């Protein structure tokens, strides 16, 4: 039978004759407290080994609580890690791109709705102009923005007055759609959107008809070659124009504002290839010599 609170065994007592002692109430409370503490210690006692010696580590309720917390990653920890990773990426991108970009050049491929100017323009609504209205935006009136057009799209290039403003190296591009000049490079003669016949600049000049190689070809073979070269030339024109269209539409400072209202100029006479482009055309004799 467990000893009652009102009795305890004397250490020196004869086990056959246990001595019963009276305890007062204060002592009883103290005993209860001490017993409870000892039980608690026994429960949480943990053995460990340090420096080859066996040591005892006592864990309290408070330790248990902090262990519980350690096991969970707080929201603040997650935010700290994300923030650190973002800062590392920004710094590394800035370093790797030599100060060009904080986001690994991603801004160049941003869709239009991620560009401030494009969104602003979208909210304002498109500015569609006739060729004569567009001509007003050529920098002669300083209160108006600088607009150029390419492939029918009007681009605001006011961010670069040094290049497109009066006296700028590419001032001739503003105030009209000069798509043809973007392909031929003839900045005086070809400031027009009329692209008819431009592909000729990539089609070889037939200057080798008397050669043995050319004489061996039948009329049909020459015709098929011609057709193939025409298709390739048209693709090159589109690629060259596309290059500049992309340049302006993806530029971080320029933005599209609207479209040129096309005028019916189909009746206009087909233009000759400008001198510079004609001069640079490939020659059949050169191509044959490379075969
Ligand atoms: C088809 C021929 C060419 C076209 C369509 C063309 C077009 C352009 C355009 C639109 C720009 C302005 C880029 C911007 O807005 O930042 C530019 C800049 C420039 N181009 Fe050309 N270009 C051509 C050929 C050349 C050639 C042959 C040279 C060299 C002799 C040249 C030298 C330059 C230079 C130095 C700049 C920078 C101007 C500056 O930042 O002030 N371009 N080009």
Q: What is the mean pLDDT of residues 74-95?
A: 94
Q: What percent of the chain has pLDDT over 90?
A: 58
Q: Under a CB-based contact definition with an 8 Å cutoff, are residues 176 and 135 in contact?
A: yes
Average pLDDT, integer, range 69-90 = 89
Which of 163, 173, 187 for a ligand 1 pocket mutation test, highest count of atoms within 8 Å of Cβ? 163
Considering only residues 48 and 37, tell me which one the structure prediction assigns the higher pLDDT.
Answer: 37
10 Cα: distance to centroid of ligand 1 (angstroms): 108
Least confident of 40-54, 67-81, 166-180: 40-54
pLDDT at residue 227 tops 80:
yes
Per the model's pLDDT, the better-predicted residue between 186 and 124 turns out to be 186
| 187 alpha carbon – ligand 1 mean position (Å) | 11
Give the Cα separation of 76 and 72 in Å (integer): 11
pLDDT value, residue 64:
58
Q: Please provide the average confidence, as pLDDT, over all residues in the chain.
A: 83
Q: Ligand 1, closest atom to CA 173?
A: 10
**At the fourth CATH level, which superfamily is domain 112-290?**
Cytochrome b5-like heme/steroid binding domain (3.10.120.10)
Q: How far apart are CA 237 and CA 266, in angstroms?
A: 20
Cα–Cα distance between 183 and 285 in angstroms, integer? 24
Band the pLDDT of 7: cuts 50, 70, 90. very low
Contact between 177 and 192 under an 8 Å Cβ cutoff? The reply is: yes
pLDDT at residue 19, rounded to an integer: 47
User: Which of 157, 185, 192 should be mutated for ligand 1, with most atoms under 8 A from CB?
Assistant: 185
What is the Cα–Cα distance from 247 to 244, expressed in whole angstroms? 5
Domain boundary assignment for the chain: 112-290
Banded model confidence at residue 11, pLDDT cuts 50, 70, 90: very low
Residue 5 pLDDT > 50, yes or no? no
pTM higher than 0.85, yes or no? no
* For residue 265, pLDDT beyond 50: yes
Provide the percentage of residues in the chain whose pLDDT is more than 70.
Answer: 79
């Amino acid at each position: 039978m467990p000893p009652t609170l009102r009795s305890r065994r004397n250490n020196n007592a004869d086990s056959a004759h246990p001595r019963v002692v009276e305890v007062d109430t204060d002592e009883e409370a103290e005993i209860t407290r001490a017993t409870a503490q000892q039980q608690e210690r026994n429960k949480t006692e943990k053995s460990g080994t340090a420096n080859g010696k066996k040591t005892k580590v006592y864990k309290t309720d408070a330790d248990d609580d902090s262990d519980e917390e350690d096991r969970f990653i707080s929201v603040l920890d997650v935010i700290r890690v994300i923030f650190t990773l973002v800062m590392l990426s920004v710094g590394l991108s800035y370093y790797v791109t030599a100060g060009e970009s904080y986001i690994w050049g991603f801004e160049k491929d941003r869709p239009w709705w991620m560009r401030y100017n494009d969104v602003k323009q979208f909210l304002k609504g498109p500015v569609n102009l006739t060729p004569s209205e567009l001509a007003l935006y050529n920098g002669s009136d300083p209160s108006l923005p600088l607009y150029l057009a390419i492939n029918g799209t009007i681009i605001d290039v006011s961010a670069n007055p040094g290049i497109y403003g009066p006296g700028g190296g590419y001032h001739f591009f503003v105030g009209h759609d000069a798509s043809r000049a973007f392909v031929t490079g003839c900045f005086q003669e070809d400031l027009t959107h009329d692209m008819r016949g431009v592909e000729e600049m990539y089609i070889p000049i037939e200057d080798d008809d008397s050669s043995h190689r050319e004489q061996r070809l039948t009329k049909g073979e020459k015709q098929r070659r011609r057709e193939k070269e025409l298709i390739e030339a048209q693709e090159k024109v589109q690629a060259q124009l596309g290059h500049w269209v992309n340049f302006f539409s993806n530029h971080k400072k320029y933005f599209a504002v609207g479209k040129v209202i096309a005028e019916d100029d189909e009746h206009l006479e087909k233009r000759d290839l400008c001198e510079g482009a004609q001069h640079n055309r490939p020659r059949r004799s050169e191509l044959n010599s490379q075969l």
